[in-house]
A = this chain, B = another copy of it.
Amino acid sequence: MICILLAFCLHFSCIFLAFFFSLLSGIAFKSPTGNRHPVNHKTQSFYLFSTLKLRMFKIGFVKLGNIATSTAIDLALDEIAERTDIEFKIVSFGPKMTKKEGEASAELKAWGPQLVVISSPNAATAGPTTAREIFKGIPTIVISDGPTKKEARDALAQEGFGYIILPVDPLIGAKREFLDPAEMALFNSDALKVLAACGGIRLVQEELDRAMTAIAAGEAKLPTILATPEKCAERMNFQNPYARAKAIGALYMAQTVATIDAAACFRLKELEQIALAAAAGHEVMRAAGRLADESRELEKAGDSVSRKPHARTGELMKKTKLLEKPEKI
């Protein structure tokens, strides 16, 4: 009986302490006007909590609507669900991404996330824009396929948001004349294949890991990246340059998909044209998936697939040969 009581006490004390420190740190980092001392928590460590392991990092996701990256973004931070340094909370309203959902995402605030990730198609639309307003003040990274224009991106940065704009995560052929649930999932499958094999997913994951580490270390350095084909492919550490070229090619094809599907979604008016354009876009996506697959197969041929799993402690590890052990970077 007593030990249970004791456990309860400890439990509450812990929570209290956690709360206390979070308050402290909250004051320390987030209050733009207060006197902070960045010097104190500027650490060398890349990974979370190598010096401070009081509590887990709280990362919150607001997922609005459908982009392929969204379906893997949180899983990519803890692919075997063994990290002990990180806590997730995802808020989503499924396919919906209007202003209403943007507002409803406010509920994530109560959880006290240290980093918020807002992923959605076109971040310039009402829903994501509303969401961003809500999380102003909290370190927030926008992940989307647009806006791609420099001015629009700079505006995001000036408002204090980090961003990773992925034009390689293309618009789906979202017309009732063509798209049904199965076709939607197939498109996401192909898009995800390209993003995963060619570096898009890794770029996002590494940047989120890096941002978390920075925040934990007291420096809110958020990424501001336009994820071009070249930048994505660079992350995959291809050993075979043809594998890299294929990956770059597949990512360019994904961008082409966006162009074709945009016509289907916004410009064309007749059933036949819409269906053909959307189908053409999805065929290109599928072809891109195969080129991405070919890229990876080339690396398999040389037993040089780069893998970067997370250690239990959250650090990134790496391995290249299939039968070798992952090692801390």
Contacts and interface: CB of A to CB of B under 8 A. Distances in A.
A281 interface: yes
From A3, A183, A249, A286, name the one whose CB has the most chain B CB atoms within 10 angstroms.
A249
A179 B317 CA distance: 11
Given A10-B17, A61-B94, A189-B190, A174 B71 contact: no
Contacts of A99: none
Interface residues of A, number: 118
Interface string A65-102: 11000011011111111100001111111111100000
A249 to B, nearest CB: 4
A81 B174 contact: yes
Contact of A307 (B66, B178, B188, B253): B178
B276 A245 contact: yes
Contacts of A154: none
Interface string A158-202: 000000000000000011111111111110111011011101011
Contacts of A215: none
A132 interface: no
Oligomer copy total: 6
Nearest to A271: B325
Contacts of A157: none
A76 B185 contact: yes
A153 interface: no
A14 interface: yes
A283 to B, nearest CB: 4
Contacts of A300: 240, 242, 298
A252 interface: yes
Given A176-B311, A180-B310, 18 more contacts: A14-B14, A63-B90, A65-B81, A72-B185, A74-B94, A76-B184, A88-B92, A88-B95, A90-B91, A181-B196, A181-B202, A185-B195, A189-B190, A229-B280, A244-B276, A245-B279, A276-B323, A294-B297
